[in-house]
Amino acid sequence: MSDNNKTSNNSEITQPEKLWGGRFTESTDAFVEAFTASISFDQRLYKHDIAGSKAHAKMLNKVGILTDDEVNDIHNGLDEIQADIEAGNLEWSVQLEDIHMNIEARLTDKIGITGKKLHTGRSRNDQIATDIRLWLREQIDLICSEIQRLQKGLLELADREAETILPGFTHLQVAQPITFGHHMLAWFEMLVRDYDRMQDCRKRVNIMPLGSAALAGTTYPIDRNYTAELLGFERPCNNSLDGVSDRDFAIEFISDASLVMMHLSRFSEELVLWTSAQFNFINLPDRFCTGSSIMPQKKNPDVPELVRGKSGRVFGSLFSLLTLMKSQPLAYNKDNQEDKEPLFDTVDTLLGSLRAFADMMPNVTTNKEAMKVAAMQGFSTATDLADYLVGKDMPFRDAHEVVGSAVGYGVEKGKDLSEMSLDELQKFSDIITEDVFDVLTLEGSVAARDHLGGTAPKQVKARVAEALALLSDK
Ligand code: ARG
């Protein structure tokens, strides 16, 4: 890959001629050259730059600007360059500034004067805007398949643990018993929206700037629909100024990525809590954890901790790009060169985080006893007792009061509601009878929430089946 290729900025070696040097009387300051170059990072776009050039050349041939021989030479030359890059045989040059000029200069070295015709009717401004969109479209597809892999893993886990009970929390205080499967499905639903947002963003990414040229379009009789078709774009953009300067597709992508990272970060926080000795609800496989160099007993949940930490990088990139764009007059400005590193970092961070979660989640195991004990401890069936009283015609507010007193008594005696005798419970209301114990069990409590979106194992199983079918349709 391109990483094997070295970047040279050694002024001892022969200086490549600037492709834009015509009007200049002195050569660029060496520091300025390095400061303004983007080849160290935009080399990552080589494949998309070459694909864009091949389509552009083919279109120039179709409209009669390049001959058949010329377009063949250009295509063969570009294919060879791609092979050279992939074999690690191309030395990137800082003097040639960016990916576009590195490839174009290499093409001219290979095929001679025809190489210089490739840039007819285009500019680096529409070229870079096109390259990023081609690259990002591909990355969105990778991200979407990683989201789906994680979703499948969560469904697997939810199905396996549909009956497992743990305490559900509000304010991080035990609230009501829920099923583990239901909890996993909450994460699944967030990812459904994340996936849809990525797909929606892809529609706006998949518009072609090429043909906008520097900013105003070009005097050549180009066929932009043809180029768009060759590159698999939905259509060419409608305005050349917008085409070269718009980066809101990238901001939209990073904002969607930020939401995924925010979800993964919340998820991470729960995994960190749940693996701690205080909760001890779940176990992460050893291969996703690390030890401590000083404390031999430690097994640290590094993967979720890192994902939680990495969310900050992505949120930071969102602000970088918003700030990058907010004061730019139309059309292209060199500021835009700063769009790439935050965008690349966002994609790398998101793909890495999704991959770690997709690999890890299906291998999580649960400590059912510990979760059950925790659910018993927090009077988590208090609402069920109130609902029971309401079922016997007591107004809800009165029922709330009665159960509140019973809980107060339980706190004093160190007893859960389900551990109290019928006599003890009847002290708070004489309408309580033996059947109360059916609703005070954890199993009874979760099974009773048996409606669409509720925590009952039956509902979990039904949503898993429905979601699996939806996923396999995509
Ligand atoms: N390296 C530039 C970028 O990333 C490519 C476009 C340069 N255009 C220009 N007029 N200097 O945006």
* DSSP character string of 196-222: HHHHHHHHHHSEE-TT-TTTT--SS--
Ligand 1 atom nearest to CA at 124: 6
DSSP category for residue 40: H
Q: Residue 292 catalytic?
A: yes
**Residues lining ligand 1, Cβ inside 6 A:** 38, 42, 98, 124-125, 128, 332, 334, 336-337
Ligand 1 atom nearest to CA at 340: 4
Predicted pLDDT of residue 2: 43
Give the CA angle between residues 142, 82, 125 to the nearest 5°.
Answer: 75
Which distant-in-sequence residues (6+ apart) come within 8 Å of 376 by Cβ?
Answer: 416, 418, 442
Q: Could you tell me which of 306, 123, 137 has the C-alpha nearest to residue 220? A: 123
Residue nearest to atom 4 of ligand 1 (CA): 337
**Which of 171, 293, 327, 472 is flagged as catalytic?**
171
Ligand 1 centroid to Cα of residue 123, in Å, is 9
Ligand 1 centroid to Cα of residue 357, in Å, is 36
Measure the CA–CA gap between 335 and 315, rounded to whole angstroms: 20
Sign of torsion over alpha carbons 430, 435, 441, 443: negative
29: its two tokens: 């300051």
Measure the CA–CA gap between 190 and 173, rounded to whole angstroms: 23
Measure the CA–CA gap between 49 and 56, rounded to whole angstroms: 10
Q: At what angle do helices 340-360 and 248-275 cross, to 10 degrees?
A: 30
Ligand 1 centroid to Cα of residue 8, in Å, is 19
Measure the CA–CA gap between 50 and 45, rounded to whole angstroms: 9
Measure the CA–CA gap between 58 and 50, rounded to whole angstroms: 12
The pLDDT profile of the chain, 474 residues, written as one tens digit per residue, is 444 566 665 444 456 778 888 788 888 899 999 999 999 999 999 999 999 999 999 999 999 999 999 999 999 999 999 999 999 999 999 999 999 999 999 999 999 999 999 999 999 999 999 999 999 999 999 999 999 999 999 999 999 999 999 999 999 999 999 999 999 999 999 999 999 999 999 999 999 999 999 999 999 999 999 999 999 999 999 999 999 999 999 999 999 999 999 999 999 999 999 999 999 999 999 888 888 787 877 789 999 999 999 999 999 999 999 999 999 999 999 999 999 999 999 999 999 999 999 999 999 999 999 999 999 888 999 999 999 999 999 999 999 999 999 999 999 999 989 899 999 999 999 999 999 998 999 999 999 999 999 999 999 999 999 999 999 887
* 8 Å CB contact between 336 and 245: yes
Choice from 23, 28, 38 to test ligand 1 binding pocket (greatest atom count within 8 A of CB):
38
Ligand 1 centroid to Cα of residue 125, in Å, is 6
Ligand 1 centroid to Cα of residue 94, in Å, is 14
Task: Kindly tell me the burial class for residue 180, based on how many C-beta atoms sit within 10 Å of its own C-beta (0-12, 13-18, 19 or more).
Answer: buried
Give the CA angle between residues 429, 430, 431 to the nearest 5°.
Answer: 95
Predicted pLDDT of residue 297: 79
State the DSSP string of 331-376: S--GGGGGGHHHHHHHHHHHHHHHHHHHHHGGG-EE-HHHHHHHHH
Fold adopted by 27-120: Fumarase C; Chain B, domain 1 (1.10.275)
Choice from 334, 339, 340 to test ligand 1 binding pocket (greatest atom count within 8 A of CB):
334
Ligand 1 centroid to Cα of residue 1, in Å, is 23
Write down how long the chain is: 474
How do strand 235-236 and strand 282-283 relate by DSSP bridges?
Answer: unpaired
Ligand 1 centroid to Cα of residue 36, in Å, is 9
Q: Residue 40 catalytic?
A: no
- Homologous superfamily of 125-367 in CATH? Fumarase/aspartase (Central domain) (1.20.200.10)
Predicted pLDDT of residue 294: 76
Residue-range domain boundaries for the chain? 27-120, 125-367, 373-456
First-to-last alpha carbon distance for the chain, in angstroms, is 31
Measure the CA–CA gap between 200 and 253, rounded to whole angstroms: 10
Residue nearest to atom 11 of ligand 1 (CA): 334
Measure the CA–CA gap between 458 and 470, rounded to whole angstroms: 19
Residue nearest to atom 12 of ligand 1 (CA): 337
Amino acid at 300: N
Ligand 1 atom nearest to CA at 98: 1
What DSSP element (H or E) covers 313? helix 302-325
Amino acid at 383: T
Give the CA angle between residues 86, 254, 138 to the nearest 5°.
Answer: 35
Task: Kindly tell me the burial class for residue 376, based on how many C-beta atoms sit within 10 Å of its own C-beta (0-12, 13-18, 19 or more).
Answer: buried
**Which of 2, 292, 327, 472 is flagged as catalytic?**
292
Residue nearest to atom 3 of ligand 1 (CA): 337
Q: Which residue reads 């890890």 in tokens?
A: 360
Predicted pLDDT of residue 170: 96
Choice from 44, 128, 133 to test ligand 1 binding pocket (greatest atom count within 8 A of CB):
128
173: its two tokens: 């205080």
Choice from 39, 97, 98, 102 to test ligand 1 binding pocket (greatest atom count within 8 A of CB):
98
420: its two tokens: 């109290």
Q: Could you tell me which of 36, 22, 19 has the C-alpha nearest to residue 101? A: 19
Give the CA angle between residues 266, 268, 271 to the nearest 5°.
Answer: 115
pTM here is 0.93
CATH of domain 373-456: 1.10.40.30
* 8 Å CB contact between 72 and 39: no
Q: Which residue reads 């930020």 in tokens?
A: 258
Ligand 1 atom nearest to CA at 97: 1
Ligand 1 centroid to Cα of residue 132, in Å, is 12
Ligand 1 centroid to Cα of residue 238, in Å, is 21
Which distant-in-sequence residues (6+ apart) come within 8 Å of 369 by Cβ?
Answer: none
